[in-house]
Each structure stands twice: as structure tokens, then as C-alpha cells.
Amino acid sequence: IHNIMTQYLPRDVDSILKQIVNHVEYTLARTKYNFDEQHAYQATAYSVRDRLIESWNDTQQYFTEKDVKRVYYLSMEFLMGRYLNNALLNLGIESQYQGALKKLGFDLDEVEHQERDPGLGNGGLGRLAACFMDSLATINYPAWGYGIRYKYGMFEQRISKEGYQIEIPDYWLTAGNPWEIERLDVKYPVRFYGEIKHNGKHYEWQGGEVVTAIAYDSPIPGYDTYNTLNLRLWSATPASEFDLDSFSRGDYYSAVASKEAAEKISSVLYPNDATEAGKELRLKQQHFFVSATLQDVVRRFKKKDRPLTELHTKVAIQLNDTHPTIGIAELMRIFMDHESMGWSAAWATTTKVFSYTNHTVLPEALERWSVDLVEKLLPRHMQIIYEINRRHLEEVVKKYPGDGDKLMRMSIIEEGFPKMVRMAVLAVVGSHHVNGVAAIHSGLVKSRLFPDFYKEQPDKFLNMTNGVTPRRWMQSANPALSEVISRWLETDEWVSNYELCRGLEQFVDSADMQREFREAKRTNKKRVAERIKKEFGVEVSTDAMFDIQVKRIHEYKRQLMNVLSIICRYNAIKRMTPAEKEECVPRVCIIGGKAAAGYVIAKHIIRLINGVSKVVNNDKDVGDLLKVFFMTNYNVTLAEDIIPANDISQHISTAGMEASGTSNMKFVMNGGLIIGTMDGANIEIREEIGNDNMFIFGLLEEEIDRARNELKYGGYQHTDSRLQEAMKQIEANKYCGKDVSEPLLKNLQPYNDYYLVTRDFSSYMDAQARVDEEYKNQTSWVKKTITSVARMGKFSSDRTIREYGEQIWNLEATPFVPSS
């Protein structure tokens, strides 16, 4: 194993040990003879951080010296997961740290488990941002991530003894965060409310409330490179000026209280995933981090003396969904009101800087803010948005005189009561490129979301199929399989060049390789079986098929269809003769995921799963043939534990509704097969690995509208007797009370079944039967998994990021090579 970084780091176990002990003594102020695992973690983290700080500073200085173009990835969410193991692997010093900690009486693995999982994101969108940071660093692109340092991340999920979800606040900073550096000197004022004045030359935004954004920086190491990027998260604090008004009124307490309010802005991550909440505080969060970021970016650009009209030659800004879209108006405001640029020059530059990634076509997820709210909170931005819209519509009118409908459709403002600002339209108008996140989704972005815009500027719209980092999702999460891959390929370079895994295919018929793949799988299943034993007190067999569906709970993801099919499987087992039971493939069904706190139906689905779990797991007739578990608190750390144990995973959204999915990629890379619909990246995975290596079922996207109408207007009613039986049992409250069963069943009535659960059900059951049949032939099964692992190269986020770099950002890879 070679790693470029080891040349530059003291790599002997003893000097590492010394550094750790030093931090125990001088950073943690503990005696070196008495510290526990948590202190060992803290000290280890600080010693790794020390190594990163040097490369981090060198990298940033190098980028500045070379005056390279940088990309700024703006995201409300960065779902980073734990840092320690990732840093050790990227730096290539894991074994040395293992040795040093061993000498101190600790096990690296256990020390790593002391780290809190920073959950500063909801799901796919936040995790994508994290994978992108890893790839940006690894490819040596000059890049920064910008976001919010929430005090409370994604809530911790617990399950009550009755089976309901409970949300616990996630104060993840209790034991401090060794991976961040507080930069009290990097701070910017951010204004809200107030009025607009014209001073004869330009507009000025005055009054209102001002908060200060403070920077917290975390180093992002790349794999096998010295380059280290920066993730800058902003925290809100009271502005330093005194509230003289309150003071002069002698109102000390309200002066202090108004300062307290500032910190609220960065206090909590909104735990919604794909449903727009429309809360004022959320818009405040957006403007807060975007304004601080743009001030920071412009300041950096202005260090060299040159006109701001050239900003786009050194700066690309990627909007991760519409959440940071207010930045388009904010940059215009900075250009015009602070930098005295005219409208045309300001707009020309702005639209060369921004690009926008759309992550969903669900109408309920598209961000819209009421004009009243934007006017109140960000009065100058509202003026600017109106002017952007006026000029934009002027062009439309010129081209399509008299076409009022077109005007309505293309307007940034939705006319209605109340009037709304459509953030997605603002993002499209203000960006040079707009991309979807998988081929089918990018097609829908053009045909469904923005057809009028696509017609005018077809080249503006691109596809950038998502990817995931093989460092975290294979090398780190699955050392057993990674070791097998490296041995057969005689290199570990596949970790940063996934295409090399193609080389595995030539050995697919080797009984040795097949055995090693199966042994790795068993290792991973054993670990999960132990976890199940500990958490549920239930013994499961590693011979059983491990069937996993983990993702946010949402109707379109159809966890309900999964649990319905589990009920059918249970009923079938109950009817089996002993001889039939002999033939039956045992399954362990694992479901996990959080429901947004206010998403009632999603919470009911969790309750039903827990009810089914209880009935099935306690039924003596069933034995090993079926076990069902709802794994609580699904997060990045839990994903790293269970994904490597999958035999099969479920990605069964209604066609056209899952923009991409990214866990589907992780599951296959870890040696499992997929049961899924023709949706999101499933389609491209099938293209890469072959139809024979997947279990595809269900209606196609182009069939959905018609099928929905048939259901709704009585042209179709399912006749699946298994489904009827399952629904009858639910109705009889066999698994849960009627508070849960009634609303769930109501949603399955033909006229209500928007997600087509009953329509796709038979096809789904057929696919499940094929899964059972194929699993009986373990040799052909493992061959399918080997072939799939070999062919997943497209889904490395390194490929994705290269495409963004070449087609959208226009970046050069800029590796820093230290001289010593």
C-alpha cells in the first residue's frame, strides 16, 4: 500500500503515540496515565487534525498563489458522517494509528466509535454534498464547501414501546468538535428587515436587524493527495454593536433578549426532506449563510486588484437545490449597491457565476416564498427579484407577444393569493447551467418542470448523474470486501480509480474469488446479526437473505409496499407444509429511516412496520424463515454498518419520483443486488451491470399518469388476493390500532392511491419470487454480485465531479506537491 501523504508525515508508531499523549496532557489537560476511550478519541482526533492543518494551509496558499478558478459548493446540508476513520484512510496512516493506540491500550475501532456522527443534513442531498467534498479534494479541484453550522443536527429517532417514532434533539457538540477551527476573525454582518433608501447614487439597505456570521472551518482531506480543502460553516452570533435604543430606554433585558435571538438562526436543521415548510426562520437561514458566503467570496476575489465583472473567471458557485438561490439577488445587490456596478454588467456577471442543481420534481418540494415575507425580511432583494423578472418577461413578451399563459408559466412571481416567489424559476433564470441528478430525472426537469425554459435555451440543461465516494462507502465501511478486491486486482488504486474494478470480471468463474466474496459478505452479516441480537434480543441466521430498505420514510419511496409484501410473505409461511418450509428461503427484512416530525402518514408507516415486526418475530410457526426489524435512528454511521451486509436492497419508488437515489449505488458496490423500479439511477445501474443482475418490476414513468387516472376514475382495481388478505388483517387491527390502520388503508383505496402501491403490487410480488428463486443458487448469486461490483465505475462521485468540473465549472485540477 502506498500513499503519497506518508512521504510527508512522520509515520512511525512512536512519534504518533507521542503526539496523542501530548494532546491528552496539553489539549485535554488530563494526566497521561488516566484517560478513557473518549479522551483517547479526542486526543487522536487532535493529532490527526494537526497533520491536516499544514496541508490545508499549504493547499489554500497554493491556490491563491496560482490564482486558480475555484468552485464554491453552497449547501444548506452537509451530511459528513464521522471524520476520524475517513481522515486516517485518506492520509494512509490507519495502521500506524492502530499501532500507537494499541500501545496505549486502546482499540482503534472502538476509539473511532466514540465520535458523534455530525448529522447536518436530512438525507440524499446532504450526503451527496459530503461525497462531493471527498471527490473534489481527491481530484485536486480548487473548491470550498459553504453551509451552516447547526447546533442541532438531524433529530435522533427513538421508538416508543408502542412502536411510534419519537424525536430527540441532536445536540451534537456536547463533547466539542475537534474537526473544526473557530475563526473569530472571519466574520460578516448579515442584515434582515429594515428599509431601502436611495442616496442619489444607489440604493441603500438600512435599519432592521443585523447578526454576525462567524466562520467554522473543517479540513477535507483527499485520498492519496496532499491537497486538503475547506468546509466553511457559518454560525450566527449577535452583532457587536450595542442596541443603543433599548439601552437609552433603560431596557437592559430586552436589549439582551434581542441579542439572544440572533443565535436562533443557526440553531436547528429543518428536518424536512422534500416537503416545503415555508417558515420565516428557514428563509432567514438561507439568506444568513448565503450572504456571509458571498461577502467572503467577493473579499477573496478582491484581494487581487481587478474588476468584479471578471468574477466568473475565478469563481463558480453551485447551488445545491434552490435553498441558496437568494444568492442570485444578493450578488446583484452587492454588485450594484456596494460596488457601484450598473444592472447590465452586474447581471451579465451574476449569470456567469451561478449554476443550479435540481434534486426533485415533487411539486410539494418546490420552494416558494410569499412576496410579503420576502418583502418584509429582504426588502432590497424583493426589489431586485421584481426587476430581474421584469426584464426576463420583457424578453418573453418580445418573442411571444400576446401569449399570456406563457408569461404566467415563465414568471418568477406566481400570481395568486398570496403572490409567491418561485425560487426554482429564479434559479433557472439566474444560472448558466441547470442540472438534474440522473438521466431520467434530467429528462423530467426539461419536460415537466421547465419546458418553456428548455425550449429557449436547450443547452442550459444538463444531466449530472449522482455518484458516491468509494473511500467511505467501500474502503472504510467494508474492509473485508475491499481487501478481497485489492488482492485480486493486485492494487488498491481502485479506491481512487473505480474503473479498475472491471478487472474483477475476468475472475468471476473462479471458485476462490466466489468463496472470498461470500466470506466477506458473511463477516459483514455476522456483525449486523450481533447488532440485532443486542438491540432486539433476536437470533438471526447469516444464511438468511438480508433484505434492506433504508431511506427517509416517504410515501413515494413506498415503504408501505414493502411492509405489505412482508405481511404476504408471513401469511404464505403460515400456510406452508413442512416440506414447503424446507424449500423456503429464509429472510431477514430490515427497514430503517426517519419520518419528518410533522409527516403523519410517514409516522403511521413506521408504527405499522413495528407492529408487523412484533407479530412476525414472536410467531413460533415462522422460526428462521422470516424476521422483521425496524432499525432506529438511521444515519451515516448506521448506513456504514449495515449496507455491507446486504444481499438485496429495495429501491422501489413510484417511477419518475425518485430523482436519483444514491444508496442504491452503495448497496451494489458492497456486493448486493437490487430489487427496484425503473426510476432514478436504478435505470443507469441496470444499463451498466445488466438486466440479469437486477430485479426490476413495476410501471414505467411514461405509464404512470394513465395508470393513476385509471385508478382514480375506476378503470382499475387490483385483484391480488394476497394483498386483499394483508389489507383485511390491517383493517382487523392485527398489527396496529385503528388510529394507524384507518388512514393507511384509506390511502390504498383506488381513488386515493397516488403512489400506485396497489397497482404495482403484483409485479412487485413476482419480482420478490424471482429473488427467492435466484438466491437458492448461491453460486450464480455471488457471480451476479461480482459482476455488479466490477461494473459500477460510473457511480463513483469522482466521475460525477469530473463532469461538473469540465462541463459546468470549467476547473483545472491543481495538485500541490510539497518540496521537502
Report the 10 Å Cβ neighbour count for 80.
26
437 sits near ligand 26M (criterion: CB under 6 A):
yes
Q: Which of 273, 296, 492, 516 binds ligand 26M (CB under 6 A)?
A: 273
Q: Which of 333, 552, 558, 607 is catalytic?
A: 552
Residue 359 among the catalytic residues: yes
d(CA 412, CA 282) in angstroms, rounded, equals 20
Q: What is the CA radius of gyration of the chain?
A: 27
Q: Which of 381, 557, 558, 759 is catalytic?
A: 557
Minimal distance, residue 360 CB to ligand 26M, in Å: 5
Sign of CA dihedral 60, 810, 75, 86: negative
Residue 123 vs 222, nearer CB to ligand 26M: 123
- CA proximity to 379, closest of 329, 345, 336: 329
Find out whether 561 and 757 touch, Cβ atoms under 8 Å. Answer: yes
Q: Which of 359, 381, 460, 791 is catalytic?
A: 359
Q: Which of 654, 662, 677, 785 is catalytic?
A: 662
Query: Rounded to an integer, what is the distance from CA 281 to the centroid of its chain?
Result: 22
Q: Which of 17, 89, 120, 128 binds ligand 26M (CB under 6 A)?
A: 128
Residue 708 among the catalytic residues: no
Per the DSSP assignment, residues forming a β-bridge with 627 are 588
Q: Name 556's Cβ contacts closer than 8 Å, sequence gap at least 6.
A: 362, 653, 654, 657, 658, 755
Residue 6 vs 272, nearer CB to ligand 26M: 272
516 sits near ligand 26M (criterion: CB under 6 A):
no
DSSP structure string for 388-421: HHHHHHHHHHHHSTT-HHHHHHH-SEEPSSS-EE
Minimal distance, residue 468 CB to ligand 26M, in Å: 10
628 sits near ligand 26M (criterion: CB under 6 A):
no
Which one of 120-128, 182-190, 509-517, 748-756 is the stretch in contact with ligand 26M (CB under 6 A)? 120-128
125 sits near ligand 26M (criterion: CB under 6 A):
yes
- CA proximity to 21, closest of 112, 117, 105: 105
Grid cell for residue 682: 436504478
Which one of 34-42, 269-277, 382-390, 753-761 is the stretch in contact with ligand 26M (CB under 6 A)? 269-277
DSSP structure string for 23-45: HHHHTS---TTS--HHHHHHHHH
- Whose grid coordinates read 476575489? 301
d(CA 179, CA 41) in angstroms, rounded, equals 12
671 sits near ligand 26M (criterion: CB under 6 A):
no
Residue 349 vs 796, nearer CB to ligand 26M: 796
794 sits near ligand 26M (criterion: CB under 6 A):
no
Kindly state the number of chain residues that form the binding site for ligand 26M, as judged by CB under 6 A. 23
**Binders of ligand 26M among 150-179, rule CB under 6 A?**
none
Minimal distance, residue 317 CB to ligand 26M, in Å: 18
d(CA 49, CA 34) in angstroms, rounded, equals 23
Residue 42 vs 435, nearer CB to ligand 26M: 435
466 sits near ligand 26M (criterion: CB under 6 A):
yes
Q: What are the E-state strand segments in 75-151?
A: 143-148
d(CA 670, CA 525) in angstroms, rounded, equals 12
678 sits near ligand 26M (criterion: CB under 6 A):
no
- Whose grid coordinates read 434581542? 258
Minimal distance, residue 797 CB to ligand 26M, in Å: 11
Q: Which of 119, 680, 698, 793 binds ligand 26M (CB under 6 A)?
A: 680
123 sits near ligand 26M (criterion: CB under 6 A):
yes
Label residue 318 left, alpha or beta by phi (over 0 means left) and psi (-120 to 50 means alpha).
beta
Residue 13 vs 597, nearer CB to ligand 26M: 597
274 sits near ligand 26M (criterion: CB under 6 A):
yes
Could you tell me where the DSSP H helices lie in 690-737? 701-712, 721-731
Which one of 99-107, 169-177, 468-476, 659-667 is the stretch in contact with ligand 26M (CB under 6 A)? 659-667
- Whose grid coordinates read 424583493? 382
Binding mask 594-613 for ligand 26M (x = CB under 6 A): --------------------
Residue count of the chain: 820
Reduced to 3 states, what is the DSSP secondary structure of residue 349? helix
Host H or E run for residue 190: strand 181-192
793 sits near ligand 26M (criterion: CB under 6 A):
no
Minimal distance, residue 222 CB to ligand 26M, in Å: 22
Host H or E run for residue 587: strand 587-592
Q: Which of 381, 441, 551, 784 is catalytic?
A: 551
Q: Which of 44, 96, 122, 228 binds ligand 26M (CB under 6 A)?
A: 122
Residue 361 vs 513, nearer CB to ligand 26M: 361
Minimal distance, residue 122 CB to ligand 26M, in Å: 4
Report the 10 Å Cβ neighbour count for 227.
28
Minimal distance, residue 257 CB to ligand 26M, in Å: 27
Grid cell for residue 191: 442584515
787 sits near ligand 26M (criterion: CB under 6 A):
no
Residue 424 vs 529, nearer CB to ligand 26M: 424
Residue 280 vs 812, nearer CB to ligand 26M: 280
Find out whether 505 and 790 touch, Cβ atoms under 8 Å. Answer: yes
Q: Which residue is nearest to ligand 26M (CB)?
A: 124
Residue 334 vs 655, nearer CB to ligand 26M: 655
Find out whether 485 and 475 touch, Cβ atoms under 8 Å. Answer: no
Q: Which of 115, 276, 330, 760 binds ligand 26M (CB under 6 A)?
A: 276
Binding mask 330-369 for ligand 26M (x = CB under 6 A): -----------------------------xx----x----
Minimal distance, residue 698 CB to ligand 26M, in Å: 16
Host H or E run for residue 604: helix 600-617
- Whose grid coordinates read 468552485? 71
Minimal distance, residue 380 CB to ligand 26M, in Å: 23
CA distances from 627 to 11, 234, 528, 622 (A): 47, 45, 13, 8
Find out whether 443 and 465 touch, Cβ atoms under 8 Å. Answer: no
Grid cell for residue 744: 393507511
Minimal distance, residue 577 CB to ligand 26M, in Å: 43
Residue 477 vs 659, nearer CB to ligand 26M: 659
Minimal distance, residue 443 CB to ligand 26M, in Å: 14
662 sits near ligand 26M (criterion: CB under 6 A):
yes
Which one of 272-280, 480-488, 503-511, 630-638 is the stretch in contact with ligand 26M (CB under 6 A)? 272-280
Q: Which of 212, 465, 613, 660 binds ligand 26M (CB under 6 A)?
A: 660
Q: Give the CB-side neighbour count of residue 310, counting CA atoms within 13 A.
A: 10
565 sits near ligand 26M (criterion: CB under 6 A):
no
Residue 465 vs 670, nearer CB to ligand 26M: 465
Residue 425 vs 520, nearer CB to ligand 26M: 425
What's phi and psi for 738, nearest 5 deg? -75, -15
Residue 355 vs 814, nearer CB to ligand 26M: 355
Sign of CA dihedral 486, 490, 496, 497: negative
Q: 635-658: buried (b, 16+ CB within 10 Å) or exposed (e) per residue?
A: bbbbbbebbbbbbbbbbbbbbbbb
- CA proximity to 804, closest of 133, 68, 75: 133
d(CA 677, CA 701) in angstroms, rounded, equals 9
Residue 552 among the catalytic residues: yes
272 sits near ligand 26M (criterion: CB under 6 A):
yes
**Sites of contact with ligand 26M (CB under 6 A):** 122-125, 128, 270, 272-274, 276-277, 282, 359-360, 365, 437, 466, 658-662, 680
The catalytic residue positions are: 359, 551-552, 557, 662, 666
